[in-house]
Structure 1
Amino acid sequence: MTKSFELTGAANRFRRAALTTTILAAGFGVPAAYAQDAGEAADAGGFAIEEIMVTAQKRLQSSQDIAAAITAIGSDELDRTNFNNIEDLQNMAPSLQIGESFGFAQVMVRGVGTDNPFAGGDPSVAMHIDGAVIGQSSAQFGALFDIARIEVLRGPQGTLYGRNATGGSVNVITNQPTEETEGYARLTYGNYDLIKFEGAVGGSLSDNLMGRVAVRYVNRGGYGENIADGSDIDDADQISFRGQLLWNISEGASLRLAAEHHEEDDRNYIPKFRAASYDPAPLPALEPQPTDGIRATDPRDINSNVNLQNKRNQDSFTAELNVDLNDTFTLTSLTNYQTFEKTPQADFDMTANDFYIWSESFDTKQFSEELRLNFDTDRLHGLVGAYYYSEKISSDNRLDIPIVPQFVADAVPGLAGCGFDDNVSDQIIGADPSVLCFHFRGTSDTDAYALFANVAYDISDKLSLNIGGRYSHEKKQGDTDRWTAPGAPVLTFADEKSFSKFTPSVRLEWKANDDVLMYAGYSKGFKSGIFLTGQRSPVLDPEIVDAYEVGLKGLFLDRRLQFNAAAFYYDFTNLQQGRSVPAGTSGFTLVYENAASAEIKGLEAEFNFMATENVRVFGSTTFLDATFDDYVTTDPFDTVYQQLGLIDAGIDLSQQLGGNRMVQSPKWAGTIGLAVNTHLPGSDWFAEATASMTHKGRVYFSQFNHEALSQEGVTTMDASLRFTSPDDRWSVNVWGKNLTNETIYQGTFILNSSRTNAGFLAAPRTFGVTVGMNF
Structure 2
Amino acid sequence: MNTQNKYKYNPIFEAISLALVLLVSPAINAAENVWETIEVSAQKRNENISDVGIAITAFSGEQLKALGLESSTELIAFTPGVSLAGDIGGQRAIFNIRGVVQNDYADLAEAPVAVYVDGGYLASTQAQTFGLFDIKRIEILKGPQGTLFGRNATGGLVNTITAKPTEDFEGYAELSIATFDQYRFEGAVSGALSDDITGRLSAYSNIQGEILENIYEDGASPDTRPGSVGGGQDGYNDDTQALRAQLDFNLGTDGSLLLSANWADTTKSEGPYQVVNTTEIKDADGNVIDVIFAADDPLGCDAIQLGQCIDGNFNGDPVRPVQGGDFNGNIDPDGSGPKVNKDFAFDDQNTIQSQGFSAALDYSFDTFDLFSLTDYKKFDRTVGLDSDQTASPELIFQSNSTIDQFSQEVRVSGDADNFKWVTGLYYLNVETDYSQGLAASPTAYFLGGEENNSLIKLETQSYSIFGQIDYQLQDQLVLVTGLRYTKEDKHFVGDVYQNTNTDDRVIEIDLDSASLEHLDTDNDQNLWSAKIQLEYSTDTDLYYVGVNRGVKAGSFNAPLFGGFSSYKPEELTSYEAGMKLNLSDETALFNANIFYYDYSDYQSFSWVNNSGLVENQDATFMGLELELFLTPSDGLDVILNTSYTDAKVENLEVASGIFADTTPAFTPEYQASAMIRYNWDWNEDNIAVQFSANYQSETFHNARNFTAHEIDSYVAANARLTWTDSTQLWTATAYVDNMFNSEHEIIGFDVTGFYGTSQISYAKPRVFGITVKRSF
Q: TM-score, normalised by structure 1?
A: 0.84
* Equivalence for 1:591: 613
Distance (Å, rounded) in 2 between the aligned partners of 1:88 and 1:589 = 29
**What is the CA-CA distance between 1:263 and the residue it aligns to?**
0.7
In 1, the alpha carbon distance for the partners of 2:155 and 2:327 equals 43
Change in 2 beyond 3 A, CA 1:612/1:121: same
Which secondary structure state, in structure 2, belongs to the residue aligned with residue 539 of structure 1?
Answer: strand
Q: Which runs of 4+ in 1 moved over 4 A?
A: 7-11, 292-295, 483-486
In structure 1, C-alpha distance between the alignment counterparts of 2:612 and 2:593, rounded to whole Å: 37
Unpaired stretches in structure 2, ≥5 consecutive residues: 1-25, 218-231, 280-290, 304-310, 316-325, 501-513
Determine if the alignment matches structure 1 residue 71 to structure 2 residue 57.
yes
Provide the secondary structure at the position in 1 that maps to 2:400. Answer: strand
Structure 1 residue 710: Cα displacement: 2.1
In structure 2, relative to structure 1, the CA distance for the partners of 1:498 and 1:124 (3 Å cut) is same
Q: Distance in 2 between matches of 1:763 and 1:449?
A: 42
Identify if the C-alpha distance between structure 1 residues 189 and 302 changes in structure 2 by more than 3 Å, giving closer, same or farther. Answer: same
| Structure 1 residue 633, shift from structure 2 partner | 1.3
Deviation of the 1:179 alpha carbon: 0.7
SS in structure 2 at match of 1:163: coil
Describe how 1:263-662 pairs up with structure 2 within 5 A: 263-267=265-269, 269-277=271-279, 278-279=291-292, 280-281=296-297, 282-283=302-303, 284-287=311-314, 291=328, 293=330, 295-299=332-336, 300-308=338-346, 309-326=349-366, 328-404=367-443, 407=445, 435-483=449-497, 490-511=516-537, 513-533=538-558, 535-580=562-607, 589-594=611-616, 596-628=617-649, 630-635=650-655, 653-658=656-661, 660-662=662-664
Q: CA RMSD in A?
A: 2.4
Q: Are 1:536 and 1:591, in contact at CA under 8 Å, matched by a contact in 2? A: no
Residue 293 of structure 1 deviates from its aligned partner by: 4.8
Secondary structure of the structure 1 residue equivalent to 2:567:
coil
C-alpha deviation, 1:603, in angstroms: 0.6
Q: Shift of residue 619 of structure 1?
A: 0.3
Q: Residues 525, 485 of structure 1: CA spacing in aligned structure 2 closer, same or farther, 3 A cutoff? A: farther
Instruction: Name the amino acid aligned to 2:118.
Output: D
SS state of the match for residue 141, structure 1? Answer: coil
Range that drifts further, 493-502 or 255-264: 493-502
Q: 2:225 maps to what in 1?
A: none
The question of whether the paired residues in 2 share the 8 Å contact of 1:152 and 1:171 is answered with yes
8 Å CA contact 1:469–1:505 kept in 2: the answer is: yes
Structure 2 counterpart of 1:754: 755
Superposed CA deviations along residues 333-373 of structure 1, whole A, max 9, x for unmatched, are 11111111111112223233322222211211111111111
Q: How does 1:203-282 map to 2 (within 5 A)?
A: 203-229=191-217, 231-267=233-269, 269-277=271-279, 278-279=291-292, 280-281=296-297, 282=302
1:250-280 deviations in whole A, cap 9, x for unaligned?
3312111111111111216332212243434
* Cα displacement string for residues 566-594 of structure 1 (whole angstroms, at most 9, x for unaligned residues): 00000111011233457xxxxx6533222
| Cα distance in structure 1, aligned partners of 2:258 and 2:645 | 41
Q: In the alignment, is the contact (CA less than 8 A) between 1:440 and 1:484 conserved in 2?
A: no
Q: Report 1 or 2 for greater relative contact order, CA contacts < 8 Å, sequence distance ≥ 6.
A: 2
Distance 1:742 1:707, change over 3 A: farther
Q: How far off its partner does 1:74 sit?
A: 1.3
Residues 304-358 of structure 1, C-alpha deviation per residue, up to 9 Å, x if partnerless?
33353111101111111111122x3111111111111111112223233322222
In structure 2, give the amino acid aligned to 1:53: E
Letter in 2 for 1:610: T
Deviates more, 1:203-212 or 1:140-149: 140-149
Counterpart CA distance in 2 for 1:532 and 1:224 is 33
Alignment CA distance shift 1:579-1:616 (3 Å): closer
What do residues 501-551 of structure 1 show as CA deviations (whole Å, max 9, x unaligned)?
22110110001x211111101100110112234653322111110001100
**Which digits, 9 at most, give the CA deviation of each residue in 1:48-79, with x for residues without a partner?**
xx442121211111100111111111112222
In the alignment, is the contact (CA less than 8 A) between 2:558 and 2:564 conserved in 1?
Answer: no
Contact 2:431–2:458, Cα closer than 8 Å, also in 1: yes
Q: CA offsets per residue over residues 60-102 of structure 1, 9 Å max, x none?
A: 1110011111111111222234433222111121111012212
In the alignment, the residues of structure 2 paired with residue 474 and residue 144 of structure 1 have an alpha-carbon distance, to the nearest angstrom, of: 32
Q: Quick one: percent identity of the two aligned structures?
A: 28
- Please say if residues 629 and 640 of structure 2, whose CA atoms lie closer than 8 Å, have aligned partners that are also in contact: yes
Higher mean C-alpha displacement, 526-535 vs 256-265:
526-535
Higher mean displacement: 224-233 or 563-572: 224-233
8 Å contact from structure 1 (residues 388, 450) kept in 2: yes
Cα displacement string for residues 95-131 of structure 1 (whole angstroms, at most 9, x for unaligned residues) = 1101221233221111112111112221010110001
> Is contact 2:313-2:327 (8 Å) kept?
no
Partner of 2:322: none
| Aligned amino acid, residue 78 of structure 1 | L
| Stretch of structure 1 that moved more, 126-135 or 387-396 | 387-396
Post-superposition CA distance 1:461-506 (Å, at most 9, x none): 21111110100111122121225599x9822223321111221101
Distance between the aligned counterparts of 1:241 and 1:612, measured in 2?
Answer: 40
1:263 partner amino acid: D
C-alpha change, 1:307 and 1:663, in structure 2 (3 Å) is: closer
Report matched runs for 1:723-762 at 5 Å.
723-751=723-751, 752-762=753-763
Is contact 1:75–1:148 with CA below 8 Å preserved after alignment? yes
Q: Does 1:158 align with 2:127?
A: no
Distance change (3 Å), C-alpha of 1:602 and 1:762? same
Deviation at 1:701, TM superposition (A): 1.4
Measured in 2, the distance between the counterparts of 1:209 and 1:144 equals 26
Alignment deviations for residues 722-743 of structure 1 (CA, whole Å, 9 cap, x no partner): 1111221111111222111112
Q: Is the CA contact 1:242–1:258 (under 8 Å) kept in the aligned structure 2?
A: yes
After superposition, give the CA deviation of every residue in 1:649-695 in whole Å (9 maximum; x if it has no partner). xxxx422222x222211111111232212112xx1111111112211
Q: Distance in 2 between matches of 1:522 and 1:301?
A: 51
Moved more, 297-306 or 516-525: 297-306
Does the aligned pair in 2 maintain the 1:392–1:444 contact within 8 Å? yes
